[in-house]
Structure 1
Amino acid sequence: MATIKITLDKRADHTTKDKKFPLVLRIGHDRKTRDIPFNLHLKESQYDFSTGKITGILNATRHTKRTRKTFSDVDLWIDENEGEIKNWEMARLKSEIEQHFFKKSPSRTILNYGGVYLNRLRMEGRFSTVDSYESALKTLVKYRRHLKGLENKPIKTLYEIKDNKMLPLDEFNDFDMEIKAIDYSFVRNFKAYLINRTQSKNTPNIYLRSIQAIMNDAARSFQDLSNHKPLSKIKKQSFENAPAPITIEDINTIRNLELEPNTPIWHTRNYLLFMFNNMGMNHFDMAVIKRFQFEDDRIKYFRKKTHYEGDYFSVLQSDEALEIIKYYLNDQEDNDYLFPIIPNSTTPERLHRVNKDKVKLFNKYASRIAELVGIDKKITTYTIRDTWTNIGLDMGIDIRKISSGLGHSSVQVTEKHYGKSVSTKILDEINAKITQES
């Protein structure tokens, strides 16, 4: 059980020149002690430890009543909430007492709480979300640097992992800020800064939604932040990127392209065709397929982006896909990656970042392939997904089946992204019938 007492803090660095000591409420909990000062400095003779009486200073009687009342109120509160408090860490207990009985506003900074939230996601294995949310916090730090007129230099990471916690690096302390200081005006200016610095319409809103997720979690955790929601008034809508598919004829041209075996561009062509043969598989899903997931001519996997929703796939491999897989089978262990894209030694924390680098490499060589076969479009990992979908829609396959293959949470998600393509095809057919010459 937590304990409290009123005492003097006699540490040398807290002692005044005239031998006075801070009067503090000392908390004992979880084998730790912490002090909360009463903002009084007393000599040992000025405080009676047995009665709690203060003497020899201005307004001594009033200070005595205040400290006694605070002690009594905290003691009663601890007694009434003992069952809950026993599960708290010392930091939370001290913060709650400071807030409720000393009227001290707790420090809730965006980087500190961001570290708490991101560490929870890290423990859950949601490393891609951690990376995305940290990127948003990095832009916030860069904006704070901008406001101070400082150089906008790259940030590798904001945190260090120590004792299984994510702690902000000291170099960013000057750019941290209280969550309550992030108000509507600040957010509006931050959004304008993001729009001015990024080419993508979606990037500013992705960053804002990420920061909002961190602040919403803080609001659910702390009563004093429960009504602080400045981002709720800021528009953060998503803009769907227009699908940019290539045709089945383009795919066939890529299939027939003469390339020197075992070169980076040759491997990229293999990966491109494998993704196409697997319902426009995401590059990350392909990169982390392990040997044991290939069995009975099937690839079995959970889609990484939506695996929390239970998106499991078991895909029968086409002859082309089997030929590609056969090339890369080289007596791997069951837990080794099937494709030599990401090193087997890569830690789970680094998987997402390593894959981002590999995607850049894929896109580079895919664009080179497009040039070689005369495709006047930029080919990326998304192009393959859009192409698989577009060919299926052209063939008249039910959009519900297409949606299932894409791993979308609902048909509405598919329609939102590809609805314009469907509508365009329908309108073209109608217009052709109406305007045809008799």
Structure 2
Amino acid sequence: MATIKIAFDKRADHRTKDKKFPLVLRVGHARKTRDIPFNLHLKEKQYDFSTGKITGIMNATRHTKRTRKIYSDVDLWMDEHAGEIKNWEIKKLKSEIERIFFKKSPSNSILNHGAVYLNRLRLEERFSTASSYEDALKALIKFRKSLKGEDDTVLIKTLFELKDGKLKVLDDYKDLDMEIKAMDYAFSKDFKAYMSNRYKSKNTPAIHLRSLQAIMNDAGKTYQDLKDHKPLSSIKKQSHENAPAPLSLEDINAIRKLELEARTPIWDTRNFLLFMFNNMGMNHFDMAILKRFQFNDNRIKYFRKKTIYEGDYFSVLQNEESLKIIGYYLNGQNDDEYLFPIIPESTTPERLHMVNNGKVKTFNKYAKRIAKLAGIEKKITTYTLRDTWTNIGLDMGIDIRKISSGLGHSSVQVTEKHYGKSVSEKILDEINAKITSS
């Protein structure tokens, strides 16, 4: 149960030269205490703990009334909200008392709380998610710059700096920050329109809006006055289905037959391309961070990084081609070293996704050359292999439930959402063929 009392903060470094101490409201909760100062320094004899009376200073009567009222109001408020408060941390309890009764409102700005949220993601080593959320905040700051008539095309490398193990907003962007409450429905609609005009991908605005909504929802759970502030909830964040351009099995075989000089970047790219395809369209990042110990008994065992929190674990028996590819790169690595020479061993966890993004660009560059050499007119990227594996499986008549399991989707409905057009076409073709042939 939370408690309060009026006390002196008698820490030596808080005592004044004339032996006065700060008068504080001492908050107790979950075996912890926090002090909220009344901004009064008194000698011990100037405060009567039995009556709450202050004497010996200017405006003593007014200060007595103020401290008594705050104590009484906080005590009543805590009693009325005891059910909620028992689930709070003391940091939140102190913050709420300061905001409501001491008029000390913390800056509930989108960048300040964004820093808190991103720091939490960093501690959970969800660096890729943190980067995606920061991209959304960058888009917001660019919109704010455009509203102020400033150049919104300047590259923003980062909005934060790391100080004492925590993210802090850089001074350059503090003037562009804004209170979360100021982000109303009209502002959100204008921001969405700005992004729709600025970004080529139709999905980017929806991705950024969902990221910002996650940050704002967390702020709503943190600060009482933001509990019902949800302007983004009524903004449509519909994803647009990207039309997949999968390769055919003939295309894959054409890539296999290419004569490429061994131990060159384009040769490596071909190996990685085929390895990803052979492993159910494995994500490039998942392949890049595979460790030596994850290859055992001719199997690759891994958690899909994108859905690791959903428990997506795979154990894939490697075919002859993949075993041959792995063999090219086995060089006596330790168990904790990377299986493939894609990401440098010295890369820190927080830079992994950034380094991988650079490697993806290299992959896509050489994949374009591979397509040209193989006479393939389709664009090949790291995403192509997942679509290719799925499409070939559907062509072969493999049950969509098995395809869904291989993709790591949470349900068949998710697979149908992503590949709905391909699935419906094949079903209709099959039905039509049976009917017309009769």
Give the TM interval when normalised to the shorter protein.
0.7 to 0.9
Q: What secondary structure sits across from 1:155 in the alignment?
A: coil
> Contact (CA 8 Å) 2:244, 2:384: kept in 1 or not?
yes
Q: Does 1:390 align with 2:367?
A: no
Match of 2:280 in 1: 279
Q: Which residue of 2 aligns with 1:174?
A: 175
Q: Secondary structure at the match of 1:160?
A: strand
Question: Which residue of structure 2 lines up, in the alignment, with residue 114 of structure 1?
Answer: 114
Report how far residue 107 of structure 1 moved: 2.2
In the alignment, which residue of structure 2 is the partner of 1:263? Answer: 264
> What's the CA shift string for 1:315-334, capped at 9, x where partnerless?
11111001100000001110
Q: More displaced, 201-210 or 67-76?
A: 67-76
The alpha carbon displacement at 1:427 in A equals 2.9
CA drift of 1:55 comes to 7.9
Alignment: residue pair count: 415
Whether the aligned pair in 2 keeps the contact of 1:208 and 1:236 (CA below 8 Å) is yes
Q: Counterpart of 1:100?
A: 100
Once residues 393 and 298 of structure 1 are traced to their aligned partners in structure 2, the CA distance between those partners, rounded to angstroms, is: 24
Q: Alpha carbons of 1:278 and 1:56: their partners in 2 closer, same or farther (altered >3 Å)?
A: closer
Contact 1:52–1:68, Cα closer than 8 Å, also in 2? no
Contact 2:4 2:25 in 1 (8 A): no
Superposition deviation, residue 106 in structure 1: 3.8
Letter in 2 for 1:117: Y
Contact in 2 for aligned 1:363/1:380 (Cα 8 Å) = yes
TM-score, length basis structure 1: 0.85
Instruction: Deviation per CA, 1:150-195: give whole Å up to 9, x if none.
Output: 1221111112222332221222111111111111111011101100
Describe the shift of the 1:284–1:36 C-alpha distance in structure 2 as closer, same or farther (beyond 3 A): farther
Structure 1 residues 128, 36: CA separation in 2 closer, same or farther (over 3 Å shift)? farther
**1:342-393, Cα deviation, whole Å (9 max, x unpaired):** 1111111111111111111111111111111111110011111111111111
**For 1:381, what is the secondary structure of its paired residue?**
coil
C-alpha deviations, 1:48-81, integer Å up to 9, x for none?
Answer: 6553259877xx8666533431244446778997
- What is residue 371 of structure 2 aligned with on the other side? 370
Query: Is the contact made by 1:389 and 1:402 (CA closer than 8 Å) also made in structure 2?
Result: yes
C-alpha contact (below 8 Å) 1:36/1:98 kept by paired residues: no
Change (3 A) 1:107 1:282: same
In 2, Cα distance between the equivalents of 1:409 and 1:279?
16
1:148 and 2:148 matched: yes
- Hey, what does 1:299 align to over in structure 2? 300
Q: Distance in 1 between matches of 2:430 and 2:55?
A: 92
- In structure 1, the partner of 2:343 is 342
Distance 2:115 2:267 in 1: 42
* 1:130-279 paired onto structure 2 within 5 Å: 130-152=130-152, 153-279=154-280
**One-letter amino acid matched to 1:142:** K
User: 282-291 vs 170-179, which deviates more?
Assistant: 170-179
CA distance in 1: counterparts of 2:323 and 2:57, whole angstroms: 89
- Kindly provide the amino acid, as one letter, of the partner of residue 102 in structure 2: F
Question: Aligned-pair distance for 1:338?
Answer: 0.3
Secondary structure, aligned partner of 1:315: strand
Aligned to 2:54: 52
Equivalent residue number for residue 315 of structure 1:
316
- Secondary structure of the corresponding residue to residue 54 of structure 2: coil
Q: 1:69 maps to which residue?
A: 69
1:413 aligns with 2:414: yes
Give me the whole-angstrom Cα distance separating, in 1, the residues matched to 2:39 and 2:62. 17
Structure 2: state its 5+ residue gaps.
Answer: 14-21
Residues 24 and 36 in structure 1, CA contact (< 8 A), matched pair in contact too: yes
Name 1:16's counterpart in structure 2. Answer: none
- Greater CA drift, 62-71 or 103-112: 62-71
Is the CA contact 2:34–2:94 (under 8 Å) kept in the aligned structure 1? no
Deviates further, 412-421 or 98-107: 98-107
User: Structure 1 CA distance, aligned partners of 2:255 and 2:427?
Assistant: 29
Q: Sort the Cα spacing of 1:28 and 1:407 in 2 relative to 1 into closer, same or farther, 3 A.
A: closer
**Aligned mates of 1:309, 1:204 — CA distance in 2:** 25
Q: Secondary structure at the match of 1:400?
A: helix
Residue 337 of structure 2 aligns to a residue whose secondary structure is: coil
Q: C-alpha deviations, 1:97-138, integer Å up to 9, x for none?
A: 222213554421111111111111211121111111111111
In structure 2, distance between residues paired with 1:367 and 1:252: 16
RMSD of aligned Cα (Å): 3.2
1:20 maps to what in 2? none
Q: Is the 8 A contact 2:255 2:270 kept in 1?
A: yes
Task: For residue 302 of structure 2, give the secondary structure of its aligned residue in structure 1.
Answer: strand
